[in-house]
Amino acid sequence: MHSTGRLWLLDLPMKGREVQLSSISKAINSTETPVKEKHARRIILGTHREKGAYTFWSYAIGLPLSSSTILSWKFCHVLHKVLRDGHPNSLQDCMRYYSNIAETGVLWGNLRDRHGYGQLVALYTKLLCSKLEFHTKHPDIPPNLEATDEVLERTAGTDINNVFQLTVEVFDYMDVELRLAESVLRQLNTSIAISTLTAGQCKLAPLIQVIQDCSHLYHYSVKLLFKLHACLPADTLQGHRERFHDQFHSLKTFFNKARDMQYFKRLIQIPRLPDSPPNFLRASALAEHVKPMVVIPDDEEPEEQEEDEPEPLIDVSEAPPASMASQPQVDIFDQAFGPPNNGFDDRDLQIENLKKEIELLRAELEKIKAEAQRYITQLKSQINSLEAELEEQRVQKQRALVENEQLRMELEATRSRNAEHESIQSTFVEAEKRAQATELRYNKLKEKHAELVANHAELLRKSADTVKMLSATQQTQEEVARTKQQLAFEVERVKQESDMKVEEQKFEMDKLKRLLEEKIGEIQRIKDSLQTCEKTGEQMNTSMTSLQAEKERLMRCVSEKEAELSALRQAAQVKESSLVQERERSSKELGELQGKLKEKVSREELLQKKLLEEQFALLQGTVAEAEMIIQDAVAKLDDPLHIRCTSSPDYLVSRAEATLGSIDKVQEGHAHYLKNMGDAGALLRALAQFSHLTADTIINGSATAHMAPTDHADRLTESCRGCASQSLRFLEELKSKASLKRADPASIRLMVQKILRIAQDLRPKGMDVGKDELGDMVDKEMAATSAAIEEAVRRIDEMMNQARRDTEGVKLEVNERILNSCTDLMKAIRLLILSSTDLQKEIVESGRGAATVKEFYARNSRWTEGLISAAKAVGWGATQMVDSADKVVLHTGKYEELIVCSHEIAASTAQLVAASKVKADRGSKKLSSLQQASRHVNEMAANVVASTKTGQEQIEDKDTMDFSGMSLIKLKKEEMESQVKVLELETMLENERLRLGELRKKHYEIAGAPLEQLSQDNGLHAPSPTAPSSPKSSKPALMKKPALAQKPNLPPKNMFR
């Protein structure tokens, strides 16, 4: 029998676990009905029995939450109940499944369902996650939020920053609660019919826990905000107040709507919030705050036999008889799950009912105790304020006694000086004033006494209310009666203390009245004595006449001394007060300045750090751009289209020398940046220039290699690739802070110097003009060009006169148009030469410094040679145009020669402009004039071409083609002859284009030879270098050829343009 009992007791936990699992499966299902309280209560009791939520999560983790929104909604509801009312260890157990809860919310937040539960589940999971985070961070506050004010104070601490952060977290907590409640109410109609349906109740059921949480969170917000306003200025907390006001109105609206619903009326008593939020700017408003209390009636749900079948939790057939050892276990088990339906009689039911009534009474008693404690706390706070007022009254009374004592001493002093009439009179006036002041104080004390009587009456009324509230619950329990007696005793004691204090005040008032009456009697006696003194004074006037003058003199002396002494004292006091104020102001200003200094230092440190990061980011961007430029240049080395591009060794030398200069600037900028990491401007500018010049050197090196011998071409191309690789390696080192300091462009300089040496070896070897003669040659060539232009204009005028004499009609019109356009072109070239001469003088004056003009030209020999070459080309082009025009007018030349000469003159003038523009200031007005003159030359050259083409169309006769008399055989024969002629002309055109390309290549090869040698070879004045085969290769030293010279008016057929 005993062994059977022990087995039965050991089997109790296993059966309890089975009952808990059964309750979980019944509570969390996909049926749209609210969770039954008995199932939730058994789940909660199960957590307390096992001291955790292991069983709950072992079942919940297998629920198909992703398949049903209603199942997820009821799961969140049960989890909320477990967190609020379950064992404290349930919080840690639930925290382990935080990610599963969050994932469920994310899943249903992105989906829509026909019941509208998807968004509600997403909001509910956010609420549960926020609840887990908050209570994990603040373990002193339990998940049901039923913490005392002392616990809240301890959690907030004394650091105002922690209080501020805790207030924000409470606000966030309240926001997610209110958001869920608003979403549920928005989906439901607030009518009674909706709230009584099971579908509506399923959505409304979790709001009971939300109401419980919100009531506590509202109380915490009020307490924390009052604490913040006691430590921080009101302006700083403006945002907190606005956020609290929004939450207050939302919470009040939520409570009012829920209070009107039939569903909540039988399940929860919702508190009423005040009409307006608390005034945090007034510290005394904290005493007016009443914590909202939520009451949950303990009505049991009726047991439904059809749903919850009787479960024999205890096997009574094997259970031993009731004994003293086993009876407590049975009671605990019965309390947890209710008695089974078989095996017990009516007495057990009565006992169970009595236990429930005791629990109800105990709960009501706890509520009454809490309410009574709250009223006692309020009464104590009011008593403390009254005691403070009484203390203030005592201080005022003490001051009045001191003043009365001073009056008495002054009266005695007045009595001793009865002989002096004037002194006695002044003392009398002063005593009368003090008596009036005393009377005023008495009136004030009387008013204060009336105030105390009113407060006492208010306390009595509140005491009566408290007595009524306590008497209403007197019949519940003897302990309630004792509490009432204790409270009545406290009230009676407070009343007695108040009465005693009032009696003391009355006694003090009577004493003051008696003292005042005594003072009035003394004043009357003084008046009588004054009258007697006046009589005796009249008798003694005759005897005291002689003494009066001496007395007045002495009195004047004394008054003067006293006035001086009082003035000195006042001055000293003023000086001392001013010194104190100055010292306080200085210390305050010093503290403010120190605070500002610290803020400024910290701000400067942050700005300095930000500046360093921004400067390094700018450096990284510039380095990346430089890498792209150089990589683009390297890519062109293998580009098949680039093979057509050529360049001159002279231009490559100028690019390599410029690149060497940019490398020096990069070294200087790098050194400056390492010394001052906050200033990367010099390095950025140097890198931008370096990347462009290096890429230009690489591209022009490759273009030069296309026209160089094989050995030189291979070495030059390899050097260009080496320069690119070294440049990219140097830029890669600049990307990292670790390798930034050891970055050195010395290897790049070696590769560029190698390119420079190869380019110098490729330069044509000819008769170099002495550098001392360059200055003279520039002036000579500019003068010779001007003379050539003048001569050309003169010859065109002669040709015009000759044409007018020899021709007439259309030919005369065509000749005049062509010669007029040539004259306009020559005038435009003359203006260009003058503008170029003026700009050249400005460049020499601004750039030579203390050196002479010849020294400047010698120092810039490459530029000078380019200028001389351009001037000679302009003069030669003008001469050639005059010759071509003469031939066209005499019908011995071709119109195409005149068109080509026009293009050549435009190219030569553009070369002259480019040579002058190299060293000119961008803002120079003379440079603008030169560019305007260059555009005018281009327009006039275009006019010459247009006039020539128009005249050619007018002069040339086009025979009409009449094939009407030919037979079929004859037409076929003519067609074949025409095709043969077309093929012959196409072959001639192709051969001529090849010849033109070879001529340009040869011209490019000898372009660096002295121009005098070209004049001797060609018998011309000064031929100018024509354009290379592409825009990239049309760069003589320090200048570019314009598009007109690069693209003659020939129809493009093959690769040469």
CA–CA gap between residue 725 and residue 634 (Å, rounded): 9
Rounded to 5°, angle at Cα 789 from 785 and 791: 115
Q: Cα dist. 62→92, 565, 1011 in Å?
A: 19, 97, 98
CA 47 from chain centre, in angstroms, equals: 47
Mean per-residue pLDDT for 844-872?
68
Res. 868 pLDDT band, cuts 50 70 90 = confident
293-351 pLDDT, tens digit each: 888 876 544 444 434 443 433 333 333 333 333 333 444 444 444 444 444 457 778 88
Question: Token pair 């003084």 is at which residue?
Answer: 526
Q: Which two tokens stand for residue 435?
A: 């008596």
Question: In the chain, what is the straight-line distance between the N-terminal and C-terminal CA atoms, in Å?
Answer: 120
How much is the average pLDDT of 1029-1056? Answer: 33
Q: pLDDT higher for 93 or 479?
A: 93
User: Is 80 exceeded by the pLDDT of residue 108?
Assistant: yes
Does residue 421 or residue 397 have the better pLDDT?
397
Both tokens assigned to 403: 């003043």
Side chain identity at 904, as an amino acid letter? E
Q: Within a 10 A sphere around the Cβ of 42, how many other Cβ atoms?
A: 21
Give the mean model confidence (pLDDT) for residues 728-748.
Answer: 88
Secondary structure class of 904 (helix, strand, coil): helix
Q: At what angle do helices 861-889 and 771-806 cross, to 10 degrees?
A: 10
CA 215 to CA 231: how far, in whole Å?
A: 25
424 has a pLDDT exceeding 70:
no
Picking from 816, 898, 869, the residue whose alpha carbon sits closest to that of residue 1021 is: 869
Specify the pLDDT at position 80: 94
Residue-averaged pLDDT of the chain? 77
| pLDDT class of 377 with cuts at 50, 70, 90 | confident
Q: What percent of the chain has pLDDT over 90?
A: 18
Greater model confidence, 801 or 918 = 801
538: exposed, middle or buried (Cβ count in 10 Å: 0-12, 13-18, 19+): exposed
The set of residues, in sequence order, having a beta carbon less than 8 Å from that of 699 and lying 6+ positions away, is: 633, 636, 642, 645, 1032
Number of alpha helices (DSSP H) and beta strands (DSSP E) in the chain? 31, 0
Query: Tens of pLDDT along 241-292?
Result: 999 999 999 999 999 998 888 888 888 899 999 989 998 888 888 888 888 8
Question: What is the pLDDT at residue 326?
Answer: 36
| pLDDT classification of 860: cutoffs 50, 70, 90 | low
Length of the chain: 1057
Neighbour count for residue 94 (Cβ, 10 Å): 26
How far, in Å, CA of 948 to CA of 821, rounded?
9
pLDDT digits 0-9 by tens, 877-903: 777 877 887 777 777 777 788 788 888
pLDDT in tens, 981-993: 888 888 888 888 8
With a CB cutoff of 8 Å and minimum separation 6, the contacts of 402 are none
What confidence score (pLDDT) does residue 303 get?
43
Helix (H, G, I), strand (E, B) or coil at 295: strand
Other Cβ atoms within 10 Å of 1028 Cβ, number: 25
**Closest by CA position to 684, among listed 769, 620, 751, 737:** 620
Q: Which of 560-574, 636-650, 1039-1053 has the lowest mean pLDDT?
A: 1039-1053
Determine the Cα–Cα distance for residues 322 and 333; give it in Å rounded to an integer.
14
pLDDT digits (tens, 9 = 90+) for 428-460: 777 778 778 777 877 777 787 777 778 777 777
Q: What is the mean pLDDT of residues 581-608?
A: 85
Q: Cβ distance 608 to 678 under 8 Å?
A: yes
Q: Which of 968, 948, 945 is nearest to 1044 (CA)?
A: 945
